[in-house]
Copies of this chain bind each other. A is one copy, B any other.
Amino acid sequence: MQSAPLSALMTALALILYLVMFCAVAAARGRFKVPAPATTGHATFERIYRAQQNTLEQLILFLPALWLFALFVSDRIGAALGLVWLLGRILYAAGYYRDAARRGPGFVIAAIAAVTLLIGGLAGILRTLL
């Protein structure tokens, strides 16, 4: 992993985004009066919560795909796709926070980046194996 510092940088930045979204949920619990363990009860809280949950769901795909790509294909291209993913997820969160209908474009941009990393990583692994 030390051999892929740019992908490591994108990993750290993706985790910082996730941390910020996690703090947004904690703040929204207080502001919209949705005490734990509840996860429903106010429409705005639910959007902020679902945006964080969806980022979690996407991170578990993105991070391993990024590292498969970085190690079996290219750190530089992997990190560039990682940056696209990151920008897509920022767009997604900013959209979802205002209106569930506006979460689409950012989601699609990030999803294309993640799937490209996964397919590219798989190709790199198969090239190594065959």
Contact = CB atoms under 8 A, between A and B. Distances in A.
Given A59-B60, A118-B19, A128 B5 contact: yes
B118 A16 contact: yes
B37 A50 contact: yes
Interface string A6-38: 101101100110110010000000000001111
Contacts of A118: 12, 15-16, 19
Q: How large is the interface on A (under 10, 10 to 19, 20 to 34, 35 or more residues)?
A: 35 or more
B121 A12 contact: yes
A9 B123 CA distance: 10
Interface string A93-118: 00000001001000000000001001
A11 B103 contact: no
A103 to B, nearest CB: 7
Top 10 A-B residue pairs of the complex, sorted by shortest distance between their CB atoms: A37-B50, A12-B122, A37-B46, A8-B125, A5-B128, A1-B71, A36-B100, A9-B125, A5-B129, A37-B47
